[in-house]
Structure 1
Amino acid sequence: MRRLHAALAVLLAGSMLSLPGSALAQERTVKITGFGAKSGVVRVFGINSEAAMKAAADQINKTGGVTLGDGTKAKFTVEFLDDRCNAEEGISVVRRIASTDAFVAVGPTCSNVAESLFGILQKKVGDASDSGLQFPIIADVAAKGGLAKISEWAFRNVPSEFEMYKSLIAWIRKEHPNLKTMYGGVEKDFAHSNATYGVMKGQAEGAGLKVLGTSEWLLNDTTFSTQVRDMKRANADIVAISAHPFTTCGVLKEMARQGVKPKLLIGLTSSSSVETLQGCAKQAEGIIIPTSFAPVTPEAKLAAEQVAKFGGSADLHSAAAYEIMFILKDVIESQKIMAKPDTVKADRNKMRAGLAALKETKGLLGKVGRTADREAIKPYLYVHAKDGSWQVLYKPTL
């Protein structure tokens, strides 16, 4: 028995010596919760965001993790919740996240969710008369313009679609001066598609293009014969389609069936994705789309490879989620966030203050500026569908 006790003592001493830190505590972890659409027509965007967050967390963890305010090292873990692209569901999901020890959340996918969700946050920090939720949220996908202005607890890492389509339309007018008319098509019931079509149309008219008409459909529509018939009748030089991959492909296939062949096609940012090429590569050939992501830098190529390993694809939206994980790491370290159950309120305030103080972050295509309205100023380029892949067409000088 004495020999057994002695042996156990030796084993225990050895195991204690092998543990890092004087407290012999378990390795610390910091859970970052994302949320977005993982069901329904736009579920692929939530799936890609989750994969990107996990891929970035894996890269951070492999290089030492994140340093917390007390000097200890921690590893990131990622949880991702489905809000079904529904505003009420999104609010419920965030309230659930905020009831835990979380000090930040990443999401959502859909602009209609973000608009409603940001509305329940405290509008102005420190306003004692405002009982809104005091919880920082940074969006990766929701792209409708101006959403971060709703609350000082709201942040976004999305590109300015106004600037991208302003630049694209100006470039088209310069490169193709013979094109004089445009016809539009829009997913009328989806906030992002609808808002961006307003940008496309406004920029086209401002640049001297004559807009001959607009066809409308819904996100869940599957037939487009009437809309394309109207498009064919207009016979415009340019057709601009502000829709997500599923209905973009439906419209393009119907255009092919009816023999509609415009001289130039413009698409929605969100359709510069693998899903569009999987659904209608042949019909999408030549469509031009501005985007804030393409695997054209070493960092972007690595991100694309890693996101694929986690079951997603890298596009302008999931790339934003990937970047956000590195942003959160930097803010945690600069603000000395503790990530403990008894520091939740302080950590949330530190995270909000740290995000608000950012003037610039590291992006996969280069430096990303930050505005006083908590929005991003991201580099971008134009891609076009060619031979079954997205290829860079032009990179504007910003």
Structure 2
Amino acid sequence: MRNLYILLFFPLLALNTYAQDLEQQTDSLLLKRIKGEPLPPDSLYDVVNLFQDINPFKKRKKDGIPEKRSGISYLPNLNYNPSIGFQIGIKAVGGLHFGEKKNTSMSVFATALNYTTRGIVFGYLFHDVYTRENKWNLKGSLHIAKMVGLDYGMGIGHPLPNPTEEESIINNPDRDRFVNKYTVYGFNERIYKKLSPGLFVGAGAYFELKRNVSTLTEVSPSPNEIYSKWNGFDPARNNNNGLMFNLQYMTRDNPNSAYKGIYSDVVLRTNQTWMGSSQNAIQLLTDFRKYFQLFPERGRPNHVLALWYYGSYNLSGKLPYLDLPGTGKDPYAKSGRGYTNGYFKGRSYAYGEVEYRFPILRNQFLSGVVFGNIQTVDDQMGTKLFKYWQPSGGAGLRVLFNKMTRTNLCIDYAIGKFGQKGLFLGLNEAF
């Protein structure tokens, strides 16, 4: 692990020194900048600029006119986690406007293919498209994966009073590790219609099939088997299919790294047996994000205080064990830095996070963040939502990867309870 940190941070120190030399080029622009407005892309410096400057084989244009920059970022998706082993893959994130920038939000596209030494293979396609003048918004994804998922049972890690043997296993207050293996096929699509500036209403459908579910454990029965028996599911396979009804309000200025504005999304998910779902169920999802731009008069627009609240509430019916809401189970799998995905989970889940983002270099090549979060669950065994909370927090470094789309390379280190901690790498902010 120590060698991994050296490989990650030593090159960044070298990049920092190089970028500081170029920082003086942007000072005059910063002093002239209108309060609160983003800097012109030509005054910023990103990884693409760095590679162009140090490339000895770069062809210089004779007329001095710079080449048009692409809105697509490619990144080798490297990671390490003791639970999954080494991960290698490729990720591409792109953004463009299908109308005038003043009245049309940026559309975002992403795709990735990853492999880990523990046998996880995961690929996906994602889109978030806004048509001209934001009249329509289409969101959707397609994913196929051979998964090895860590499992720590249900609940928030708080012991139950006088538990039965099965309740003790599934509550798992010592947070012993189980490993679930399965194959998943998923597809979802939502369509929103603009009602007024920033306000959208929509509907959609989702299909998620899990097959060949098995648990590697010395304890029998496993939490998945116990929960499935309690609630009438097949522990080896299940379907989570249904309809979505959505209400969205959005004024944030950029989906990749917002400086100001609001993003909120309320989704009613209704699992339907007539669509092939294992059982009927209704889940209400809420996602609220607010961005405060601090000190815009100082000429640094990426001085931001960001707030995030995410909730998944069970209104009726039951979900399969692997589909229970919890840590990292939000649509972008970004919640709960400091814990592995699914570390806490239950019938209902609530999560809050605050993050302070600050510039390091004036040309925005390097910036930093500090963050803290809390989460709570309803565990079906008497512990209600909001009764107990678990915290985590950390700090991170941002490298401007593509200034055209405001895409950052994010390197975070977070610490939670129960000995949980880790390094988190990726493109774009957590929220």
Write 1 or 2 for the structure with the bigger share of strand. 2
Same fold (TM over 0.5): no
With normalisation by structure 2, the TM-score equals 0.26
With normalisation by structure 1, the TM-score equals 0.27
Structure of greater relative contact order (alpha carbons < 8 Å, 6+ residues apart): 1
